[in-house]
């Protein structure tokens, strides 16, 4: 868990460095711009979860999200990051150098690492079929934040969020599809959780 937390924070700092140097964003502005990407949000949730767990403050995160099943919730978020990238974005760009390293860590290393951690080390949680629905508000807040800020600066984090090219109707359609994928992932973890013995 400690190594996972260190790796995740180090990767997020690497991505921040890339944003500052490549996009010429200031150190104060870059974090807000990065939070338009669900990849960053999902990995940040992983980093916070592991860190707060190590500090014995996991309840603080549960209270913030207003939910039970915090570990399964974070697993669902980071799985959405991994699958969304693999299905929709992997072939859309060709990162090199440090960008390639950050891309691999954020999408192909940290997500499966947390998923394996959840299956092996996390105890059984109190989940039911409504649990993924209770995890939805955070995703909706992300949608609102990302689209609002992106509309303001005129740059969108993903092709399927580009309102200028697709229009609001198609963007909302993509948001609904991703929400449906998130709910399906949440139900998968709910089922897997029920099979745990402890």
pTM to 2 decimal places: 0.91
% of the chain at pLDDT higher than 70: 93
The arithmetic mean of pLDDT across residues 172-178, rounded, is 95
Rg of the chain over Cα atoms, rounded to whole angstroms, equals: 17
pLDDT per position as a tens digit, 126-170: 888 999 999 999 999 999 999 999 999 989 999 999 999 999 999
What pLDDT digit, counting tens, does each position of 54-77 carry?
888 766 666 655 566 789 999 999
DSSP result, 177-195: HHHHHHHHHHHHHHHHHHT
- In sign, the C-alpha dihedral spanning 63, 68, 70, 73 is negative
Is pLDDT above 90 for 190?
Answer: yes
CA distance 72 to 46: 11
User: 44-55 burial, b for 16+ CB within 10 Å, e for fewer?
Assistant: bbbbbbbbbbee
Asked if residue 25 has pLDDT above 80, the reply is no
Contact 166, 160 (CB under 8 A): yes
Which of the two residues, 68 and 14, has the higher pLDDT score?
Answer: 14
Which residues, 6 or more positions from 103, have their beta carbon under 8 angstroms from its beta carbon? 95
Give tens-digit pLDDT for 84-131. Answer: 999 988 887 787 889 999 999 999 999 999 999 999 998 888 888 999
């Amino acid at each position: 868990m400690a190594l996972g937390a260190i790796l995740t924070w180090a990767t997020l700092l690497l991505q921040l460095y890339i944003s500052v140097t490549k996009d010429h964003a200031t150190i104060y502005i870059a974090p807000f711009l990065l939070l338009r990407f669900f990849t960053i949000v999902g990995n940040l949730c992983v980093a916070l979860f592991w860190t707060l767990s190590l500090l014995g403050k996991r309840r603080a995160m549960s209270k913030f999200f207003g939910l039970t099943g915090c570990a399964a919730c974070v697993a669902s978020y980071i799985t959405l990051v991994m699958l969304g990238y693999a299905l929709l974005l992997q072939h859309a760009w060709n990162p090199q150098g440090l960008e390639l390293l950050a891309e691999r860590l954020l999408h192909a290393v940290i997500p499966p690492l947390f998923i394996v951690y959840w299956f092996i080390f996390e105890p059984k949680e109190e989940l039911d079929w409504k649990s993924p629905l209770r995890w939805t508000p955070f995703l909706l807040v992300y949608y609102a934040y990302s689209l609002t800020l992106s509309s303001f600066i005129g740059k969108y984090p993903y092709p399927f969020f580009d309102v200028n090219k697709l229009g609001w109707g198609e963007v909302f359609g993509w948001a609904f599809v991703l929400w449906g994928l998130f709910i399906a992932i949440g139900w998968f973890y709910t089922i897997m959780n029920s099979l745990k013995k402890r």
